[in-house]
Chains A and B, each alone.
Chain A
Amino acid sequence: MNDHSEQFIHELSRIRMNDAEQERMGGVIRALAATHASPSRLWFMRHATATFAVVAIVAFGGVTVSANSARPDDALYGFRLQVNDRIEAAFTRDDDEWLDVQMRQIERQLNDEDGAPDDAFEEFEQEKSHEEIEEADDDQIPDDEDVEIDDATDDGDEQEALIGRSRKSDSNDDEELREAQRIERDLGEEEAQAQRFY
């Protein structure tokens, strides 16, 4: 090919659409891409809806299960009362079952609200009550082992304290004995009266 033919061939290779033609063709391309939903878009739209529905159902189910064990101080306690309990009541077959469900729910709420306080406070209360019991036992019914007289001890005050505690327990026993005798005497008089009557 000679230079002259190369020249016009090169000019042909520079043929372009002008601005107006570019505008028109660009509009056609944009219209094609915009007005027709591509398969990928349709697939995503279809599956996006199904995926969202599945996620919503799973999330709701998870919250429901978690709320079932919620206590009054939990964030999901309100959900349990307003949603779980209502759903449970809605699925009853008759009035009797509905009443049973309501009673059970009320009882559970009461138990939840009256339920054990904080663990630390509960332990404190339990320890306190144990201490009180132990102190009461020490005052009223001392163990025999507490009363020991050790001749070898050098501390006379301690011996006197021990002896004093022993005498005190003896006096308590006497008092109980007298009380028992009094009660028996009263009962005997009542029986005698009853026999006279009949």
Chain B
Amino acid sequence: MVRSPERQLTEAYRELGDAIFRFCYAHTGDRDRALDMTQEAFTRTWRALLSGTTVRDMKPFLYRTARNACIDLSRKPGADSLEALREIGFDVRDDSLLDPLLSAEANRAIRCIARIEEPYREAVALRYVNDLMPREIAEIIGESENVISVRITRGMQKLRELMQI
């Protein structure tokens, strides 16, 4: 049965709203930016539905849209992402940026993930923060499963080094 775009959007938010926020949070390392990227992801999805795009599987479509939104943000000139902040000497271990809703360990993990360079960062975020299987990650990113598995392994190695585990 063909569902209306309104229904598709509301159901997608109900099922994947937190997951998309989690992904954006792991990608940006900042809660407010994560909320903006989440809103941007759903807004872009709505525009696609309005334009008549047929979305067979909303999950990979939303993740791809959120990923593209985060990449676009990072490419913007003057974007004060963690990477840009790091380049000007900002220390990501600054306690003033701690998320009060997360434990100390979780805050530390989020910051360490944000420090991992691409393409390993998103592979780790999707695998362990969003709990997706390598096959699903491969569909979202557009790479083979083997490539994704390698990226996950290497990303976790870098994370352990950063967290000194």
Contacts and interface: CB of A to CB of B under 8 A. Distances in A.
Interface in A46-62: none
A5 B50 contact: no
- Where chain B touches its partner, the secondary structure class is helix
Nearest to A17: B21
Contact of B102 (A5, A11, A29, A34): A11
Nearest to B100: A18
Interface stretch (B64-72, B83-91, B124-132): B124-132
A12 B13 contact: no
Given A25-B35, A32-B42, A33-B6, A12 B109 contact: yes
B9 A32 contact: yes
Specify which of A16, A28, A32, A40 lies most central, judged by the most chain B CB atoms within 10 Å of its CB. Answer: A32
Given A29-B42, A32-B46, A38-B6, A1 B156 contact: yes
A32 B43 contact: yes
B160 interface: yes
Given A11-B103, A11-B106, A28 B6 contact: no
A178 interface: no
Nearest to A15: B22
B50 A17 contact: no
B4 A40 contact: yes
A195 B147 CA distance: 143
B93 to A, nearest CB: 16
B79 to A, nearest CB: 21
Interface in B107-165: 108-110, 113, 128-131, 156, 159-160, 163, 165
Contacts of A18: 101
Contact of B163 (A5, A22, A25): A5
Interface of A: 1-2, 4-5, 7-9, 11-13, 15-18, 21-22, 24-26, 28-30, 32-34, 36, 38-41
27 contacts: A1-B156, A2-B165, A4-B165, A5-B160, A5-B163, A11-B102, A11-B103, A11-B105, A12-B109, A12-B110, A13-B130, A15-B18, A15-B25, A15-B106, A15-B129, A17-B35, A21-B35, A25-B13, A25-B35, A29-B10, A32-B46, A33-B46, A36-B46, A38-B49, A39-B52, A40-B4, A41-B4
